[in-house]
Amino acid sequence: MWPFTTKAALPVQAPIVEQKSLGDPTAELLELFGAIPAGTTISNAEALSVPAVSAAVRIISEAAASLDLKLKRKVDGAEEDVDSHPGLKLLTGQANGWTSGFELIRDLVAGALTKDTGALCYVTKVNGEPRELIIYRDGVITVDEDDKTGEPKYRIGGQFASSKNIMRVRGPFTKCPLSMARSAVSTASAMEAYANGLWTNGARPGGVIETPNKLGAEGVKAMLAGWKAAFGGKANAGKTAVLYEGATYKQMAITSVDGQFNESRVFGVLEIARAFRVPPGMLFELTRNTWGNSEQQAKEFIQYTLIPWLRILEAAFNRVLLSDEERVDHHFAFDIDDTSQADLTARATAISTLITARVLNPNEARDWLGMPPRNGGNEYANPAIDTARPANDNKPPKQETA
């Protein structure tokens, strides 16, 4: 026979109280403040409203578009600049009647960073020569990739379009960096909305109202409506509360975890920086930045973030803007020497060292600086050990001829 135990004999346990922290908000708290719960699907427009995301996209796309673009041609093992190519004129001048070359390159990189299909640009050609570059609105140009080879087939307005007329810029994998970091971006967006509701809404739950009477559903609604009307908003913040029906106000305690909320937001910025491969300092997260590592981060940005995107752009330009014959000895190339102009001392030291080592002649160095050549500047000589005349000879040097 089973032992019989009365209900009164059972030990009475204190109810378990779950502690909520504003430093680590739950989905319920996020919903309470009108934020989007972490993990919820977030659109590209909403993602770009997160400052760290828009900053990462802008710094990569604008840095790429700001560099000088040249068309090189190999002649007898050396490379020379080609200035009169129609494709180069579109990329460095006007891509079309309403878009500059700078805007086109910027939008191509920005599209590749934020769209899974990448950035798509239609190239209008006349007799095989590019005459116009147009980035249509989303959905106008569609891509259908072969299941086995991945070869893309393009349609524009539902009509077949040759791949020779479509320029496509995309990153690695099948998704863009924004999609691959969507969870981190969604969390950062939710915390932004949560912080906005926390600090701007004067009726935030900084405490609880306790009453000995049963209010019922309608009573609760009436009390909340009255509380918000009397004390909600910035204008009513700090007013003295007057309660009725024996109600009492109990202040909510702020735990040490609540003070970590700002650090949690900083971690969200770091996650976004990792996703886009941008140094945190370039997203203005300067917690650990120093005079020394800021310069190193700038170098890493150029080497590991910017240059890979430049190579993707160059390949796209070569494929669509050059003919099959031109691709044999022509290629587009971005000039990344401009990225070191900010440090004039380091640039001058490098030029002087290269001239002294006879790697460059003075005219080649002057070309780097955007200066015209001078007479005698094509000679590879070490100015530190010039033996053209005796050391004590104070006569002016003879004029050299080009």
Confidence tier at 351 by pLDDT (50, 70, 90): confident
Q: Where are the domains of the chain?
A: 37-138+169-201+256-341, 207-251, 343-395+398-402
Q: What is the mean pLDDT of the segment spanning 155-174? A: 92
In tens, the pLDDT along 293-344 reads 787 888 889 989 999 999 999 999 999 999 999 999 999 999 887 655 556 6
Is residue 177 within 8 A of residue 59, CB to CB? The reply is no
- pTM recorded for the entire structure: 0.69
The mean per-residue pLDDT over the stretch 80-102 comes to: 95
User: Is residue 2 pLDDT above 80, yes or no?
Assistant: no
| pLDDT reported for residue 399 | 58
CA dist 33 and 199 (Å) reads 10
Residue with tokens 């094509």: 378
HEC per residue, the chain: CCCCCCHHHCCCCCCCCCCCCCCCCCHHHHHHCCCCCCCCCCCHHHHHCCHHHHHHHHHHHHHHHHCEEEEEEEECCEEEEECCCHHHHHHHCEEECCEEHHHHHHHHHHHHHHCCCCEEEEEEEECCEEEEEECCCCCCEEEEECCCCCCEEEEECCEEECHHHEEEECCCCCCCHHHHCHHHHHHHHHHHHHHHHHHHCCCCCCEEEECCCCCHHHHHHHHHHHHHHHHCCCCCCCCCCCCCCCCEEEECCCCHHHHHHHHHHHHHHHHHHHHHCCCHHHHCCCCCCCHHHHHHHHHHHHHHHHHHHHHHHHHHHHHHHCCCCHHHCEEEEEEHHHHHCCCHHHHHHHHHHHHHCCCCCHHHHHHHCCCCCCCCCCCCCCHHHCCCCCCCCCCCCCCCCC
CB 332 within 8 A of CB 320: no
| Mean pLDDT (whole number) for 33-40 | 46
Report the alpha-carbon distance of residue 369 to residue 217 in Å, rounded.
76
Asked if pLDDT for residue 381 goes beyond 60, the answer is yes
Confirm if 271 and 265 have CB atoms less than 8 A apart: no
Mean pLDDT computed over every residue of the chain: 80
